[in-house]
Amino acid sequence: MAKTTTNSKPKPYENNPFFVATNGLDLLFKKAQSVGIALAILAALSFISSVPSLFTNPSGDASTTTQTAAQQQAEAQKFADAIAAIPLEVWLIAGGIGLLILLIVITVGIVIRGVADFTSAQLANGKDVTLSEAFRSVFSNFWGYAWVMVVVGVKVFLWTLLFIIPGFIMAYRYSLSGVAFFENKLRGNAATKHSAALTKGAWLTTYASQNLLNLLTFGAIAYLLAPGTNGVLYRQLTDAGEVKPKAHVLSWLTLIIPFVLLVLIIVVAVSLAILLFSMAASGELKTN
């Protein structure tokens, strides 16, 4: 019996990054609930682990700021002598353990991102996804997927050498490479080229869709946003072809406001540092 297919009308192109992200979240929990729950737990754990750092005193203990230059130099010399006394064997063991931990962290990161990208590829086609299915696909294609991530990293680094901004832009033009790997079975450089072709003329919409809600929640739901958002982006960019609608004004605000805030923070930090330095200098002059 011939297989019947239903051709549904493609959904309209959405250039408002807020709706791209919220539609992605809705799609994630409708079609990939187990993946969404797992990523929500991961996002919560990541946020909880970062909370203690918000309450640490960045200025350090008050007694250390009043130390004389001679005391600081003596402590630095003691520390250097203690480091020099450590045997070479201990350094080798510590280095091996550090390398092993680094490899584990990288592997876990690749698997988590792979689960998100596989889920995005399935959601782009309107398919249901389970967490176990996503893990199986990532592990069975681990080395091919890891190579795509290496190619993306190298390309973004090379573009960054051209005054940083090209690297920033290309990071988002290559951000759908992992989805292309699972969706179209594209390997290495072919996956990055396909992602760059899809996002040509739409990198700003891609950037804002992936980051707007993340910025509004101070990074608390970063893990949760990626699968659905990239699934929506991949589907609509594929349907749109070469000509994409202009970026929404909200996309421009998502790009500009963080940079303005960063500049303000830098100016305030530098001003406070100069003020504290001048106060410390005037205090030393009074004591002398």
Nearest to 176 by CA among 206, 151, 204: 206
pLDDT per residue as tens digits for the range 25-38: 999 999 999 999 99
Q: Which of 73-82, 156-165, 211-220 has the lowest mean pLDDT?
A: 73-82
Q: Encoding tokens for residue 163?
A: 């005054």
Do 232 and 14 form a contact (C-beta atoms < 8 A)?
yes
* Beta carbons of 238 and 11 less than 8 angstroms apart: no
Mean pLDDT score, 165-182? 93
Quick one: angle between helices 33-54 and 222-240, nearest 10? 130
pLDDT attached to residue 45 = 85
For 64-92, what is each residue's pLDDT tens digit?
Answer: 444 565 677 777 777 776 777 778 787 78
pTM here is 0.80
Instruction: Give the C-alpha separation, 206 to 217, whole Å.
Output: 18
As a whole number, mean pLDDT of residues 13-25 equals: 91
Residues 231, 120 contacting (CB under 8 angstroms): yes
Tell me, what's the pLDDT at 207?
A: 94
Going by C-beta distance under 8 Å and a sequence separation of 6 or more, which residues neighbour residue 133? Answer: none
Burial class of 179 by CB neighbour count within 10 A (0 to 12, 13 to 18, 19+): buried
In degrees, rounded to 5, the angle at the alpha carbon of residue 95 between the alpha carbons of residues 94 and 99 is 120
* Residue 84: per-residue pLDDT: 72
Mean per-residue pLDDT of the chain = 84
pLDDT the model gives residue 245: 85
In which region does residue 164 sit, left (phi positive, over 0), alpha (psi from -120 to 50) or beta (all else)? Answer: left
Mean pLDDT on 15-29: 92
Tell me which of 219 and 204 has the higher pLDDT: 204
